Structure 1
Amino acid sequence: MASGASTIEKSNVGEGGLDSKVKGVGSVSSKDMFIRADRIDLKSLDYQLEKHLSRVWSREEARRPKEVWEIDLSKLDIKNEIANGTYGTVYRGIYDGQDVAVKVLDWGEDGIATDAETAALRASFRQEVAVWHKLDHPNVTKFVGASMGTSELKIPLKNPSTNSRSDLPARACCVVVEYLPGGTLKQYLIKNRRKKLAYKIVIQLALDLSRGLSYLHSRKIVHRDVKTENMLLDAHRTLKIADFGVARVEAQNPRDMTGETGTLGYMAPEVLDGKPYNRRCDVYSFGICLWEIYCCDMPYADLSFAEVSSAVVRQNLRPEIPRCCPSSFANIMRKCWDANAEKRLDMAEVVKLLEAIDTSKGGGMIPEDQANGCFCFATTRGP
């Protein structure tokens, strides 16, 4: 190394770059300069790289033709966070004067996922949006719009005292849907776990769900993750199907639809067993939801996921139907979760059967803490 103890700064690295962060030793030409690793501000470099990737991605997005469902994010005012999950966050907001929920899928920081992984996630997002934006039914959550980029999305401060905004990776996507204040069906059932629901409310919720699924199936759409957590309630307790993250158009050949897609406990035997399946896998899941709605409880509460999966396929395990359950309703459950998919009811048939049920004489489940006997006519049960 050339002699000389003075330190010099490298000043031609670039805008906001290493000029004030990296120092070499000795008065030598740039090609002979040594850079001390302990003097490099890696955090600053990471930040600059992320900003650069964001600008490049934004320019690419600007040149891409817009989809019919893409919205103007400048019109979206996000208020607060209402849920957080594995793949992103749900916020409440206002879009063009409408109360909306904003589902932001961030998939990790820019530069972490490979280009192939990011492309696969974005393709999956397009699939969800492609399914959702064409749907129009009172029992399906109304789609408002979506965006393939979030550079214009204004996220509220996580900690107002720090005055720092929650920056999203440039490749994040968001979907905007109507906001439903009643929360999930699962939350509603848990709230009524002790008192149970009046029979007329059981049938109303069952009808809402069956009508929504019947509509989806008429459009050749298989939801593939029917469960009470994916059903939302509006202010009038109307149920609406949500979350089309794994929904897809039904394949002409069932062998093109395989793999364990859904949630354990609700998955049909053929799905658990890795066999071909069709829309009747939704019918099976619907049958489990019927049991939950009637009992306001969790199926298989004492079993592990592994035990449930094995017993459903090998031993024909199903939730135990309470003795007080009216036979007309119990029969629908059994026909929906039949091990043979071809013997299951069609959702259009389920709608007709539920519409024919008379709720004027009661039939709601007997709460566990009440004495033995039939309390189906009790006027104090349920909301």
Structure 2
Amino acid sequence: MNCSVNNAGRGERKHEQTVLRRSVEVEPILVPQQLTIDENLLVDPKLLFIGSKIGEGAHGKVYEGRYRDRIVAIKVLHRGSTSEERAALESRFAREVNMMSRVKHENLVKFIGACKDPLMVIVTELLPGMSLRKYLMSIRPNPLELLVAIKFALDIAHAMECLHANGIIHRDLKPDNLLLTENQKHVKLADFGLAREESVTEMMTAETGTYRWMAPELYSTVTLRQGEKKHYNNKVDVYSFGIVLWELLTNRMPFEGMSNLQAAYAAAFKQERPRLPEDISPDLAFVIQSCWVEDPNLRPTFSQIIRMLNSFLFKLSPPSPPIPDTDTNEAEASNGTMSELSVRTRGKFSFLRQLFNAKRTKNSQ
């Protein structure tokens, strides 16, 4: 998979809400630095036809539409009601366009173009499949087949690995922003509205509403070590991935029965996490728990996650052995090769476990 870059109790509830809000820093309303969009990325609005609405989020609405002779998805962003809001939203729009146009990967929704006037619009490929969230809800309470869940997880991990390799933190990884392909065999990551360059790591606002999947350090200062200045790094996406992987394996809502604020309080102040199924593979339990561990420095990279999931996938569905011929020596050689692969697979998990435990021991001293 190639990742290419285009250089162009009511009382208790009130207490939880009060404590949480005290720990949340809200972004100040400032006139942001003016960002520009490469003219080559702009499309002619006269060639855009906006059809029926297919989605809506905090920052805009998404429509099915047409650009030239192609069926596309058209995201129309809000303009804001004050000059400060407009400046902030225009800056976010330019940032999203620049990041989407810069990174290309088969598990990222393909960027087509954008226009600034008369509306702020982002045009992308239209995926005929539904969002991962809707798909999971459509089969609930049944879980996904294990093989399907792992393959979806690998698609997501590859997309995130590409973003991180290019210095981009998504910050909003959740099933709503993962779209299924038409054959429902793959997923693609969408919506860069909250994505940031790694050098820009301000805290999230209290109005984002996606606490169930968000790393605690995104909205709370509780997890900052003494003397640390930087609020977070790209490991916030790893935490979110751990929650999504848990959801893929269980087909349940994270922090079920809790409001968004209660979920945030439980994760940041009580270090609670969704309960793992009793019958989960120890290898998958290790992947999930290492992703959502409280200390971001202990979380694996997406490259490590991909290796762990591929190792598990190999054990789950190993390649068929070659058809033996009359030459016994060749058959023995083939069996030897399979054994070597199995040993290497176990070795990868062993190495990563040792690395994780060593980091945890070092940080606890």
TM-score (norm 2): 0.70
Residues 86, 65 of structure 1: alpha-carbon distance in 2 compared, 3 angstrom cutoff: closer
Q: Distance in 1 between matches of 2:289 and 2:160?
A: 18
Determine whether 1:115 maps to 2:63.
no
Cross-structure match for 1:270: 217
> Please, which of 88, 95, 105 is the counterpart of residue 127 of structure 1?
95
Residues 281, 71 of structure 1: alpha-carbon distance in 2 compared, 3 angstrom cutoff: same
Cross-structure match for 1:358: 313
Residues 65, 352 of structure 1: alpha-carbon distance in 2 compared, 3 angstrom cutoff: closer
Cα deviation digits, residues 125-151 of structure 1 (max 9, x gap): 10111111111100100000000013x
Determine whether 1:313 maps to 2:268.
yes
Give the AA of the match of 1:114: T
Cross-structure match for 1:87: 59
Q: Which has the higher helix share?
A: 2
Residues 134, 358 of structure 1: alpha-carbon distance in 2 compared, 3 angstrom cutoff: closer
Q: Distance in 2 between matches of 1:68 and 1:343?
A: 41
Larger-gyration structure (1/2): 1
Equivalent pair of 1:200/1:359 in contact (CA under 8 Å): no
Determine whether 1:259 maps to 2:203.
yes
Cross-structure match for 2:71: 99
Give the AA of the match of 1:291: W
* Partner secondary structure for residue 356 of structure 1: helix
Equivalent pair of 1:80/1:91 in contact (CA under 8 Å): yes
TM-score (norm 1): 0.67
Cross-structure match for 1:21: none
Q: Distance in 2 between matches of 1:289 and 1:308?
A: 15
> Please, which of 120, 125, 131 is the counterpart of residue 184 of structure 1?
131
Q: Distance in 1 between matches of 2:59 and 2:98?
A: 19
Q: CA deviation at 1:66?
A: 6.3
Q: Return 5+ residue gaps in structure 2 as ranges.
A: 1-35, 225-230, 318-365
Cross-structure match for 2:180: 233
Give the AA of the match of 1:260: M
Determine whether 1:250 maps to 2:205.
no
Q: Distance in 1 between matches of 2:257 and 2:83?
A: 42
Count the aligned residue pairs.
270
Cross-structure match for 2:48: 76
* Partner secondary structure for residue 130 of structure 2: coil
* Partner secondary structure for residue 266 of structure 1: coil
Q: CA deviation at 1:305?
A: 2.3
Larger RCO (CA under 8 A, 6+ residues apart): 2
Q: Distance in 1 between matches of 2:151 and 2:57?
A: 29
Q: Distance in 1 between matches of 2:60 and 2:220?
A: 30
Q: CA deviation at 1:356?
A: 1.1
Q: CA deviation at 1:361?
A: 5.1
Equivalent pair of 2:150/2:313 in contact (CA under 8 Å): no
Equivalent pair of 1:146/1:174 in contact (CA under 8 Å): yes
Q: Distance in 1 between matches of 2:316 and 2:282?
A: 13
**How do 1:280-359 and structure 2 match up within 5 A?**
280-358=235-313
Determine whether 1:197 maps to 2:197.
no
Q: CA deviation at 1:320?
A: 0.3
Q: Distance in 1 between matches of 2:64 and 2:241?
A: 28
Structure 1 stretches of 4+ with a deviation exceeding 6 A read: none
Cross-structure match for 1:279: 234
Give the AA of the match of 1:220: G
Give the AA of the match of 1:243: D
Cross-structure match for 2:105: 137
Determine whether 1:221 maps to 2:165.
no
Q: Distance in 2 between matches of 1:86 and 1:144?
A: 22
Identity %: 34
Q: Distance in 2 between matches of 1:75 and 1:203?
A: 40
Residues 195, 114 of structure 1: alpha-carbon distance in 2 compared, 3 angstrom cutoff: closer
Q: Distance in 1 between matches of 2:168 and 2:268?
A: 25
Give the AA of the match of 1:335: S
Q: Return 5+ residue gaps in structure 1 as ranges.
A: 1-63, 151-171, 363-383
**How do 1:160-171 and structure 2 match up within 5 A?**
none
Cα deviation digits, residues 106-164 of structure 1 (max 9, x gap): 336xxxx23332122111110111111111100100000000013xxxxxxxxxxxxxx
Give the AA of the match of 1:205: F
Q: Distance in 2 between matches of 1:286 and 1:302?
A: 21
Q: Distance in 1 between matches of 2:164 and 2:115?
A: 27
* Partner secondary structure for residue 124 of structure 1: helix
Equivalent pair of 2:53/2:63 in contact (CA under 8 Å): yes
Equivalent pair of 2:131/2:176 in contact (CA under 8 Å): yes
